[in-house]
Each structure stands twice: as structure tokens, then as C-alpha cells.
A and B are shown apart, each in its own frame.
Chain A
Amino acid sequence: MAPKSILKKSTVSTNEPSASSPFTQRHRDTALHHANLIEQQKVVEKEVLQSIITLLDFPTSPDADPTRPAPSDALRFQDLIISFQTSDYDSLIEERNIADKCGYALCPRPKKKAPSSARKQFIETDKGVEIVDKKTLEVWCSEDCARRALYVKVQLSEEPAWMRRGGVGDKIELLVENAAEHHKALPLRLKQAPASKPVVEEEEEDIAGAWAARDDALADLALERGEKPGRLSKANRELLQTDIKERVQSTPPAPPEPPQSSGQSHMAIEGHVPRANKSNESDDEDGQDWDKHLPG
């Protein structure tokens, strides 16, 4: 049996937040808002991980040519890579290298082998002989692939995907020779067939049109904020209040008072007269003459 408490039974627990207070509701909203942001971040990170796992096995056919990738592969690659940061792209290259593949995701060849197994290697360059890490040599299958991969890398945004603005850098260009084919292979966007409208009163149509225009504008705004359909909205209506409160002045405005004594202007420090001086003037006490009462 549990020991009996000697404390008084309190009816109201003081720890429990009272739901009636407007602050607790607001605090809860704020906490929820930030929790959702973190959740969104996790979703993006998971997506990036999934993309990398997919891109590990790219390209889909073993005899693909990195200069002329299949349109489907290229489109998929462009799609997956949009949400990458440069660091994510580096991880992709690293993972592909561990799997013994060329770092460029559209290249099926294995990575180049360094001439010897030493950790540091001598390399002939235009500037003379350089000593480089073996690892940096074994990243790409050829110079050409390195150029193609870095061409993609410089287009990636440093900003993490969950903080990006929409409409900026939504398109990654590839360094390919058959670019024209890819544009042809873009999925054709079918225009919605204009529904035959029943004859309605003009006014009603206007109102509907206005609402539709408003919805369009809101959708555009959401896109600009970088939202995707089905995702959490970044504009939080609970936290940002839009009703404007006027400040009503009750007393008529008074003109500023002129300075009280012009004689004090030499005491002013940037227009402010220190108060300590004022009191000193009114009743002159100890101050500098503190020793006159002393004997001798």
C-alpha cells in the first residue's frame, strides 16, 4: 500500500496552465509553429537522403553516355537535385565514390584509379609538379565528368531547402549536348478546357471573378514564399495579427517648452542638463567645501 500523504489535498493544481488565459493560447500557438518548422526541416532532410539513395544507382542503364543522357534520367536528376545544398551534393559524390562510381550522377563508369596506392600523389600540371591527396584523384572518371558535375554544383543554393524562397533557382541546367531533346521531353502541360459557362448575371460573374483573382494572387504569394501544395503554410495567421489598432490621442499636442534658464546652456551635454548640477545650485551643501567644518 502506498504511504498516505500528510500534505493537504489541494483542489486546484497550480502547475496546470489555465486555459482561459490569452497568453497560454498564444504560447501554445508559438510552440506549435516552431515545432512545425522543425518537422518541415526533418521532412526535407529525409527527402534529400532518399534522393541520394536513388541517385546512387544512377544512371538507369549501364551504357548511358554522360554527354548525352537519356531525357528521363536527366529530368529525374534535375528534379531530385533541386532541394540539395552544396554540402548535400558533396555527400552524394562521396557516397558514389564509396560505391566505386564516378562522382557525376549521370555517368555509369567507375571512378579513375590513381597510378599508385600511395596516399599522396605527384601530378603533372601546367604550373609544374603538384602533390595531391590520392582521394582527390579518385573522384571522377575523367576531367570531362568533373566539369559536368561541378557545372551542376555551382548552381545549387547554399540555403537549405526549407528556408528558400520559391521561384528562385528552380531550374538546374545540365552541361549536355542534347539539350534540345530534353525540352521536347518535358511533360506537356495540358490546358484546362474552358468549361462552357452557363449564362449568369453579369454581377455574379464579376464577384466570382474577383474571388478567383484573389485566390490566384494568394496562390502566387504562397509560391513566392516557397510553399508547395500539401505542405505547411509559412504564413501563420494565428501568430501574425493583421487588425490595425489606431492610437488615439486624448490630449491636444503641446509645443515643446523653451529652455528654462539660458545660463545653464554651458552645462548641457548634447542638449541635456544633468540634474545633479541643478540641485547643487539650489542649496549649496558640502560638495567641494566639505572640509570647512573641520577644526584646523
Chain B
Amino acid sequence: MDDRNNISPAMIRMWRVYRTVKEMCMDRGYEMLQEDTEIPLEVFNARFSKEDGEPDRTRMHFSCQPTEAMLAKYSDPPTAKIPHPVPQIGTIWVEFNSDENVGLKQLRDYMQHLVNGNFYSGIMICSKPMTGMALRLLRGSAGIEEGPKGGVEVFVEQDLLVNITKHELVPKHVLLSKEEKQQLLERYRLRETQLPRIQVTDPVAKYLGLRRGQVVKIIRKSETAGRYASYRWAI
């Protein structure tokens, strides 16, 4: 505990954010070592602090490759016409923005960087909420030629201080692949519009990076049934 006193509060804060981001990438299915998500504070401090004890965000950026399981989950079921479908997921680039305010300029620079680096999608973590216009660009950028294919997600450091999925009241969310979704709909003889919904702006949906049209399985504890699974359609 003595060590902790020598480390600046900003550094401890950043350490928690960093761990949550790593855990988020692992939960989404990117290749990530368990040790990486549990990096001790001392190691983090040694690696990412500047001389004045403040965190050096520019050195914290990293990229991740999707695992085989994730690639399979994100690709369409093979058909006769397309025996090897292209998975709709790829390398992700995570950047910690150190600017005081993040506006259109920073967001566009970031998108340009993602396109130049051939990244499929990106996560930007900024210290303060972005400006309104930047959010508007982000909302409209899903189908825009300007940004990367998989889109850009933006988180505020404040929201990542704790990993919300580890809270006891948050049930387990599991993303279904297209094939599993098809089986589910057939099993219960449903159309997807008849499923309950979950918004893509939901905190857990944002954590998992859900896209519109995907289905998550939510597993809750139940006193009578032990475990109870329900399904939600992301909109």
C-alpha cells in the first residue's frame, strides 16, 4: 500500500481505465492475454508514466487481432455461392486521446489514421466528452466512405473506471452469431422483430460493441429455474 502513495491519482485512474479497456477487448473476443488485463499498478506506472508522474497517454495505444472464434462469429454462414464468407471484423486500434477537448478535427484525424493504417474499426478514449458536432459526425459516419469499415466507437474515461459487466446486478450478455440467431428464430418460430429489443446505446451493448440487428443472449440467475436465458435484438 505504501507504493500507492507515491503514484499520482491521475495515474491510478488511468490504470483502471486501461485495465477495463483490455478486459473489454478480451470480452469482445480479440486476442488478449489474461496477464495483460491484470497488469499491476507498479508495472503500469513504470511503463506509462512521464517524469512528472502524469500518465503518458500517447504510449498507451494498442491494436488487437480478432481470435478465430470471433472471426467465425462475425462471418455469415457459408452458402453455395459464397463458400468462404469474409468476416465482418478485423484489427482494432485503440487510442487514448490526451487532448483537453475533442472536436471534429481530432475525430477526423483519427478516422484518417484508421483508414491509412488499414484498421477495420477503432476505439477512441477521451478524457472529456466530445463536442456536439463531433458526435453528429460519429452518428452519421457508420455508412460514410470517410471512416473505417467497422466504424469508430468513442468512450469517456469516466465511463471506464469500473468494468460494468463485473457488477453483480449485470447479467451475462453473450453475442450470437448469424447462424445461432437463425437457429433461435427457427426454434421459437419467430421473426426477429418479435424479439425483445436492446438499444445499441445501452451501456452493456456499447461495452460489447453491438451492431444493429445482432442478437444477444442474456443469462440471468433465477430462484426458480437456476438460470434463465432471454434474447434481445439490438436496435
The interface of chain A, by Cβ under 8 A from chain B, is: 2, 45-46, 49, 52-53, 56, 91-92, 94-95, 98-99
Q: List 29 contacting pairs A-B, 8 Å CB cutoff, sorted by A.
A: A2-B186, A46-B140, A49-B133, A49-B137, A49-B140, A52-B104, A52-B133, A53-B104, A53-B108, A56-B104, A56-B105, A91-B131, A91-B133, A92-B133, A94-B103, A94-B131, A94-B133, A95-B103, A95-B104, A95-B105, A95-B131, A95-B133, A98-B99, A98-B101, A98-B102, A98-B103, A98-B105, A98-B106, A99-B105
**Residues 29-76 (chain B) with a chain A CB within 8 angstroms:** none
Q: Which residues from A are CB-within-8-Å of B132?
A: 91
**Residues 170-211 (chain B) with a chain A CB within 8 angstroms:** 186
Q: Which residues from A are CB-within-8-Å of B103?
A: 94-95, 98-99
Instruction: Known contacts A94-B131, A98-B131; decide if A45 and B105 are in contact (CB<8 Å).
Output: no
B166 interface hit (Cβ, 8 Å): no
Nearest B residue to A5 via CB reads: B189
Provide the main secondary structure of the chain A interface. Answer: helix
Give Cα A94–Cα B106 distance, bound, in whole angstroms: 13
B227 interface hit (Cβ, 8 Å): no
Using an 8 Å CB-CB cutoff, how does the interface string of B134-163 with A read, 1 for contact, 0 for none?
101100100000000000000000000000
Using an 8 Å CB-CB cutoff, how does the interface string of B75-96 with A read, 1 for contact, 0 for none?
0000000000000000000000
Least CB distance, B121 to chain A, in whole angstroms: 21
Not counting A91-B132, A95-B104, A98-B101, a sample of 13 additional A-B residue pairs whose C-beta atoms are within 8 angstroms of each other reads A2-B186, A45-B136, A46-B140, A49-B136, A49-B137, A49-B140, A52-B104, A53-B137, A56-B104, A56-B105, A92-B133, A94-B131, A98-B99
Nearest A residue to B131 via CB reads: A94
Nearest B residue to A90 via CB reads: B132
Give Cα A2–Cα B101 distance, bound, in whole angstroms: 56
Least CB distance, B191 to chain A, in whole angstroms: 11
Give Cα A92–Cα B102 distance, bound, in whole angstroms: 14
Give Cα A46–Cα B142 distance, bound, in whole angstroms: 13
In the A-B complex, the 4 residue pairs with the smallest Cβ-Cβ separation, listed nearest first, are A98-B103, A91-B133, A99-B105, A95-B103
> What is the number of contacts between chain A and chain B, taking CB atoms within 8 Å?
37
Least CB distance, B138 to chain A, in whole angstroms: 11
Q: Which residues from A are CB-within-8-Å of B136?
A: 45, 49
Q: Which residues from B are CB-within-8-Å of A46?
A: 140
Least CB distance, B158 to chain A, in whole angstroms: 19
Nearest A residue to B108 via CB reads: A53
Least CB distance, A9 to chain B, in whole angstroms: 14
Q: Which residues from B are CB-within-8-Å of A94?
A: 103, 131, 133
Least CB distance, B185 to chain A, in whole angstroms: 11
Give Cα A56–Cα B105 distance, bound, in whole angstroms: 8
Q: Which residues from A are CB-within-8-Å of B134?
A: 95
Nearest A residue to B137 via CB reads: A49
Give Cα A98–Cα B102 distance, bound, in whole angstroms: 7
Which of B101, B132, B133, B140 has its CB near the most chain A CB atoms (within 10 A)?
B133
Least CB distance, B95 to chain A, in whole angstroms: 17
Give Cα A52–Cα B186 distance, bound, in whole angstroms: 48
Nearest B residue to A2 via CB reads: B186
Q: Which residues from B are CB-within-8-Å of A98?
A: 99, 101-106, 131
Least CB distance, A43 to chain B, in whole angstroms: 11
Nearest B residue to A45 via CB reads: B136
Least CB distance, B131 to chain A, in whole angstroms: 6
Q: Which residues from B are CB-within-8-Å of A45?
A: 136
Give Cα A53–Cα B103 distance, bound, in whole angstroms: 11
Give Cα A52–Cα B132 distance, bound, in whole angstroms: 12
Which of A45, A46, A49 has its CB near the most chain B CB atoms (within 10 A)?
A49
Nearest A residue to B144 via CB reads: A46
Give Cα A99–Cα B99 distance, bound, in whole angstroms: 11
Q: Which residues from B are CB-within-8-Å of A91?
A: 131-133
Nearest B residue to A52 via CB reads: B133
Q: Which residues from B are CB-within-8-Å of A2?
A: 186
Q: Which residues from A are CB-within-8-Å of B108?
A: 53
Q: Which residues from B are CB-within-8-Å of A99?
A: 103, 105
Give Cα A46–Cα B103 distance, bound, in whole angstroms: 16
Q: Which residues from B are CB-within-8-Å of A52?
A: 104, 133
Give Cα A117–Cα B114 distance, bound, in whole angstroms: 34
Least CB distance, A51 to chain B, in whole angstroms: 10
